[in-house]
Chains A and B, each alone.
Chain A
């Protein structure tokens, strides 16, 4: 179990404004930001190899689903949450039941989700 302080969080988000908000919130929470990745290739590379404790994934990356990145993280045992305007409805069959951060969200919502991820992180 880890705390949020210095928790290394991979951020995958393709919209600059949203990404900037998430970065600010994570900084305020004391986390270390990995990325942000705005493209699938970059996200896959980081998910497979980067030194990370958790990940926050935008479901739709420029029209392409994020699920391959989620699969890669699952493989590595890295806990992650989806950020989505669709809510759980936007998830693929294989990822139903995963943690979803519903957009828009408050810093407190993000903290709660991250604490949940940190608890799973080894």
Chain B
């Protein structure tokens, strides 16, 4: 149009005289300048759209450009929101007026003036909207609310996607009538088309970005949870057998994060005894959709064998034609497995000890019965021996069954013994005994003390016992323990071999490979034990 205006101006100058020429030339130059300005505005808009800004910046550029192109004083973009309350219009961008110019008013509604725009029916262009037949027909305002921007010239263009969805509308206004011609209208329509494409693509991009962020966050949370639970994660492509393992998963098999760890490596690292079971479980999960839930031993590259618990599931394809991929987690459960094994061993060991203790009690009962003359005597002796056994167990439990020292054995067995202050000790160094020796010697001490109290040195006032121990002089490393009674009644060797003597002479000899001698010295009983090194030191 610029060139045509110039031609028109030239021809007029020829007809009307030279004096008009300067004025007309000036008008033509102004028209040209205006055209250049519009063209620049269009360029700016095109650039903005091409630059891929976010929807808000884009729309603002379009509205600003629209105001410039149409010569409006105000421009706005309202977009359509559909929610539970129905359709409503929200102010999105504004140009030529402060945002506060609209904030006081309720959102535009489907009045006769606005409806064609928001229904996407077409352009509404009016030289003076206040004189438009559609104007002022809707309550409560019947026209513009009080304080509204003074709009007379009005141009409204729906912003519609290619698919026909109405995104909103571009509105331009001017306080003076007759400002928007067909040219302004066609510019605005063109802009609206550009805006629709730009908004749509920006929204798609924003939605994609939001989804990406959401997924990244979810993945981050999952990774955190997996790491906190020391859970490795893995994925298996059923057809290609491509295997993907997380760093923790690799660590469960003794691999570093950077190591290659494929399906063949996985299978090879499973203990040969557990491998068939593991492969069968994977096949079952793939073929029949069974839960993959298995514990197996893993041999790490450094040779260490550890336990891994793997769980997973095969994802069925949409047509149920089988699984394409399998995914799951892995956890190192070695500590738990070891604890279970320890517990099993402990229970077995406990059972063994209880059974052996019952046999010991049975033995004590049987032998006490053979060597006592009355039920009262039986009861007295039997109870004393059971208590002795019990004291030894207390002592060993206190020491966590690691054994006990010789002095501790005497102290425990004699704790409730009436004449304990008449037993004197003489030794340079206390010695540690094995649990087995502790049990055997505990019973021996009980027998010696009971015998002394009944028949020996402790049965009369003034009598006493001297307990000594020292290394054997023969350098064998064995220990010589002596129980020597003095000040008792005249000693007579017993008529029959009692339980105590048998236990000391034969039992200890057998159990500890000890050499035990009972001497019925005139001063009192002397028991000498040569305890070999293997009975000492647990």
Residue numbers of A with Cβ under 8 A of B are 14-21, 24, 36, 38-39, 60, 62, 85-86, 89-90, 103-105
Contact = CB atoms under 8 A, between A and B. Distances in A.
B39 interface: no
Contacts of B513: 38-39
B466 to A, nearest CB: 25
A52 to B, nearest CB: 17
Given A20-B503, A90-B352, 9 more contacts: A14-B436, A14-B510, A16-B503, A60-B352, A62-B436, A85-B351, A85-B355, A86-B352, A89-B348
A85 B352 contact: yes
Interface string B202-236: 00000000000000000000000000000000000
A23 to B, nearest CB: 9
Contact of A20 (B356, B367, B436, B439): B367
B364 interface: yes
Per CB-CB distance, the 6 closest pairs between chain A and chain B, nearest first, are A85-B355, A16-B507, A21-B363, A16-B511, A17-B363, A17-B360
B53 interface: no
Contacts of B508: 16
Interface of B: 348, 351-356, 358-360, 362-364, 366-367, 370, 436, 439-440, 443, 502-503, 506-508, 510-511, 513
Contact of B355 (A36, A38, A62, A103): A103
Nearest to B508: A16
Contact of B510 (A38, A89, A90): A38
Contacts of A17: 359-360, 363-364, 443, 503, 507
B196 to A, nearest CB: 82
Contact of B358 (A14, A24, A39, A103): A103
Contact of B507 (A19, A90, A103): A19
Given A15-B356, A17-B443, A36 B366 contact: no
Contacts of B502: 20
Contacts of A24: 366-367, 370
A45 to B, nearest CB: 14
A91 B366 CA distance: 28
Contacts of A60: 352
Contacts of B351: 85-86
A60 B366 CA distance: 23
B447 to A, nearest CB: 11
Contacts of A39: 513
9 contacts: A16-B506, A17-B359, A17-B364, A19-B507, A20-B503, A21-B363, A21-B367, A85-B359, A86-B355
